Amino acid sequence: VIMTRRIIALLTDFGTEDGYVGAMKGKILSIAPEANIVDISHEIMPFNIRQAAFCLTNCYAYFPEKTVFIVVVDPGVGTARKGLMIQTTNHFFIGPDNGVFSLIYEKEAFNSFEILVDTLPWEVAATFHGRDVFSPLGALLAADKSINRFLTATKRHTSFVRPIRKVKKKRFHIPVVHIDHFGNVILNFQRKDFSKMKTKKFGITVDDHKFGKIHNTFGEVSRGEFLLMWDSSDYLQIAKNGGSAAKDLGISTDSEVGLAL
């Protein structure tokens, strides 16, 4: 029989040309020689926590049980920001507590643990937790070794997701969660939220623009027109056929849009 090799999936903003991803891979394989390292991406825009979170949410659910995701988009490394291990029903997530796991918190039941960096019995460079904290802990997990002694349960973790606000009867404000590099505006409004409403009638308003229909493809509207679509993670997005919805509607990640039922 062949034992199935455990998967460690890597997601960083390091690029590859400086060798930092190589250092993480080397360290992982030194601890867990049979780990199956899978690159999700190393091309996240530097420090773009929201892009990393959306990249992760677009793929994590497809991975086998017990996959360990190591996410290193970490502008706060060297400061007091915590490190986290998040355990969901099927998966483990390891990385900084800066919001990269925001969408996991929205979609999964989970337990969260703070990494007690001071308890690690090996050398840790203050500026490279990807190599010295997250990779070795992920490798130990993948090698089926307990890391409990380096963790403590925590209830506090950072998220960039702001809740939908009810402003009056049948009137809500929906915050933006992400603007992708095409300028599509992703809203904190999931397909399952819509199902719960048990209505097909609704209106999204952005200043003077009103949307009452959810389209399936860009091609259903003319070039230059705005539209609503579900994105690949089932979040509602405002898009523009042939342009940037965010730019042309003056929307930032701090914005909210109106929802009327």
Distance of alpha carbon 178 from alpha carbon 238, whole angstroms? 11
For residue 94, state whether it binds a second copy (rule: CB under 8 A): no
> Shortest distance, CB of residue 58 to a second copy, whole angstroms?
3
Q: How many chain residues interact with a second copy (CB under 8 A)? A: 58
Biggest distance spanned by C-alpha atoms of the chain: 64
The only residue of 9, 94, 204, 221 in contact with a second copy, by rule CB under 8 A: 9
For residue 70, state whether it binds a second copy (rule: CB under 8 A): no
For residue 124, state whether it binds a second copy (rule: CB under 8 A): no
In 3D space, the residue among 124, 122, 115, 135 whose CA is nearest the CA of residue 37 turns out to be 135
Alpha helix ranges (H) inside 75-224? 102-107, 129, 135-142, 191-197
Stretch that binds a second copy, among 59-67, 92-100, 112-120, 157-165 (CB under 8 A): 59-67
Query: Residues 194 to 213: which contact a second copy by CB under 8 A?
Result: none
Spatial contact of 197 and 205, defined as CB atoms under 8 Å apart: no
Distance of alpha carbon 95 from alpha carbon 257, whole angstroms? 31
User: Between 221 and 250, how does the x/- string for binding to a second copy read (CB under 8 A)?
Assistant: -----------x------------------
The 10 Å Cβ neighbour count of residue 88 is: 19
For a second copy, the binding residues (CB under 8 A) are 2-5, 7, 9, 11, 15-27, 29-30, 33-34, 36-45, 51, 54-64, 67, 78, 125-128, 131, 180-181, 216-217, 232
